[in-house]
Structure 1
Amino acid sequence: MRALRPLTLLPLLMLCLLTSNAALAERLYHVEVIVFRQAAEPISAGQLPPDNWAQNALPIDSNNLRSTALNAEAGKLNPANGYQVLLHQAWAQNIGNTSSSVAIQTGFEHFGHHPIEGTVSLREDRLIELQSDIWVNQFDDSGTLNDSERIKQTTRLKSGELTFVDNGSLGMLVRVNPL
């Protein structure tokens, strides 16, 4: 009977090991995104964003906001150079081997939509996989959504490297650094 007693603890020990491995699989990263308009004429997405544009992405709360580090790069994206920065935001996000999504937005809300809104999903394998779905919305004087531009793209990032995502009249700079 005494020989069986250590075996009863084995499932508990295995559960503890599996739980600790799952916690180690996710790491905290500093994510920074700049969305900007290029000199080209806006290219309509041909559709408006859905009312559930954030889907199941978590909003970035004040505890996760971080200071921006790409200020020099954002400064070069000015009208004199043919660009306009639409959103520049940084936050802390846990990234693991399953996709982690956050909802980003800026500007005043009109009937459930913001001038800039979308989701950024990140997943880490050997490289970091980025899935972006960002809407740049135009409203009329009454606040009704008229038209939208969209960046919907999947790309792979190297940790710490600045990556450019091009989408016609819109562009995005992204950097993901471990914290």
Structure 2
Amino acid sequence: MLRLLRPLLVSLLLIAPAAFAEALYQVELIVFRQAEKAVHASQPAPEDWAGQAGAIPAQSERTPVLTDTVAKLEGGQGYQVLLHKSWLQGAGSSPAPLRFVTGKESDGHFPVEGVLDLTQGRQLELSLQAWVNQFNGDGFLASSERLQIKRRLIPGQLTYLDHPSLGALIRVNPL
């Protein structure tokens, strides 16, 4: 009887960790404007732009390391870096999105705000939604540019995410 159970137990041990494990990654995100003229979305960022996404915990924030890449973007290439952040984020089989922001809050929004989700299945899947917001003289949200991308990532590789007026570079390193 034990001989019959041994292959079953071994196969369960090999399958179970992959099914329940959550991998931890260091995410580094750069959002930049590619053109001088913004391409605004048909509607400004919604009031509930973050949905159920949690904030990046302070202990998960990291010092960005792609400073040379940012310097190249800003160094006479016509690009404007709008956000450069790095943090730790888990990736499991179910979504656990985190929200990111930069700048001073006004009218419930930030100059750059967004939600990033990593899902680990057979491959690492990215879901990114970011808004670059413009405010009027009274501090109310006037218009937004929206960057929305779903894509497979290769861990450790710097990946370019394209948009007509915005761009993003992301590197997701496994820990």
Instruction: Please tell me the TM-score bracket, short chain as reference.
Output: 0.7 to 0.9
Match in the other structure for 1:148: 144
CA contact (8 A) 1:101 1:120 kept: yes
Match in the other structure for 1:8: none
- Letter in structure 2 aligned against 1:110: S
- 1:126 is paired with a residue of what secondary structure? coil
- 2:68 is paired with a residue of what secondary structure? helix
Q: Take 2:97 and 2:29, find their aligned partners in 1: how far apart are those partners?
A: 14
Match in the other structure for 1:115: 111
CA contact (8 A) 1:30 1:92 kept: yes
- Letter in structure 2 aligned against 1:102: L
Match in the other structure for 1:82: 78
Match in the other structure for 1:166: 162
Match in the other structure for 1:137: 133
CA contact (8 A) 2:23 2:120 kept: no
Match in the other structure for 2:10: none
Q: Take 1:173 and 1:127, find their aligned partners in 2: how far apart are those partners?
A: 19
CA contact (8 A) 2:64 2:85 kept: yes
CA contact (8 A) 1:127 1:159 kept: no
- Letter in structure 1 aligned against 2:156: G
Q: Take 1:166 and 1:44, find their aligned partners in 2: how far apart are those partners?
A: 15
Residue 174 of structure 1 deviates from its aligned partner by 0.5
Q: Take 1:128 and 1:26, find their aligned partners in 2: how far apart are those partners?
A: 12
Establish whether residue 103 from structure 1 lines up as the match of residue 106 from structure 2.
no
Residue 21 of structure 1 deviates from its aligned partner by 3.6
Moved over 2 A (4+): 20-24
- 1:80 is paired with a residue of what secondary structure? coil
Q: Take 1:97 and 1:173, find their aligned partners in 2: how far apart are those partners?
A: 24
- 1:74 is paired with a residue of what secondary structure? helix
Q: Choose 22-31 or 37-46, whichever is displaced more.
A: 22-31
User: Deviations for 1:73-107, whole angstroms, at most 9, x for unmatched residues?
Assistant: 11111161110000000000111122220000011
Residue 111 of structure 1 deviates from its aligned partner by 1.5
- Letter in structure 2 aligned against 1:97: S
Identity %: 45
CA contact (8 A) 1:29 1:93 kept: yes
Structure 1 gaps, min length 5: 1-16
TM-score (normalizing by structure 1)? 0.85
Structure 2 gaps, min length 5: 1-12
Q: Take 2:107 and 2:23, find their aligned partners in 1: how far apart are those partners?
A: 36
